[in-house]
Amino acid sequence: MKSKTLVQAKEDHGLLEEIAALPEGERVLSCLQCGTCSATCPVAALLEHSPRRIFAMIRAGMKEQVLGSVTPWLCSSCYDCTVKCPAQIKITEVMYALKRRSIREGLANQNSDVHRFYQLFTEIVCKHGRIHELLLLLKYMALRHPLSMLSQGPVGLRMFGTGCMRVQPHRMKYRESFAKIVDKASLLEE
């Protein structure tokens, strides 16, 4: 945050209301700010904003900062905070909701490419029905780190050696039906 003063006019409670209206967001308004989530989170020490702080920022109407934060993208979906939160907030699910919103509103942090990985994953699954690890990794690395492919050489070779890296993508049997479901679902907002 550049400025420590939050200008009242820039507050935007739309995000809080949107999240609170989701099935997974019903208890967001009851956050005690106790920090159980942060202290439970296995990646908390590496986060710019702890999960507790993300909830405080949502309340403070800091929509751009929340949706531009890398914090939700670093959630490892371990659900430890979800089962411990004394306010019973479905924190992991709320983090997913924040991820979706940050993509939709074009606010995802451009210095991080984590969201691109998820988008690529989704694209591949939508196209081939199943994930294709090699394709995903190649596309992802080509996107941001063309050079990093070299550093992955040894482990990549090893995985080819064990026969665990499939080369051909999967081809679905009922391809058309699957594509229709995907197209329809992609159009429907939650």
Subset of residues 2 to 41 that bind another protein, contact rule: CB under 8 A = 23, 27, 30, 32-40
Please check whether residue 91 is in contact with residue 37, taking contact to mean a CB–CB distance below 8 angstroms: yes
Binding mask 34-53 toward another protein (x if CB under 8 A, else -) reads xxxxxxx-xxxxx---x-xx
Q: What are the φ and ψ backbone dihedral angles of 158, each rounded to 5 degrees? A: -60, -40
User: Closer to another protein at the Cβ: 9 or 94?
Assistant: 94
Task: State the nearest-atom distance from the C-beta of 181 to another protein, in Å.
Answer: 4
Q: Please say which residue, 9 or 154, places its beta carbon nearer to another protein.
A: 154
b/e burial code for range 104-127 (CB count within 10 A of at least 16 → b): eeebbbeeebebbbeebbeebeee
Nearest approach in angstroms of CB 183 to another protein is: 7
Site string for another protein, 72-111 (x = CB under 8 A): -xxxxxxxx-xxx-xxx-x-x---xx-xx--x--------
Cα dist. 69→91, 113, 157, 184, 190 in Å? Answer: 16, 12, 35, 30, 22
Closest approach of another protein to the CB of residue 173, in Å: 4
CB of 134 vs another protein, minimal distance in Å: 8
Size of the site for another protein (CB under 8 A): 85
String marking each residue 55-74 x if it binds another protein according to CB under 8 A: ------------------xx
Residue 100 CB coordination number (10 Å): 15
Answer for the pair 73, 64: CB distance below 8 angstroms, yes or no. Answer: no
**Interacting residues with another protein between 145 and 184 (CB under 8 A):** 155, 158-159, 162-166, 170, 172-174, 176-184
Both structure tokens of 132 = 């294709």
CB 66 within 8 A of CB 56: no
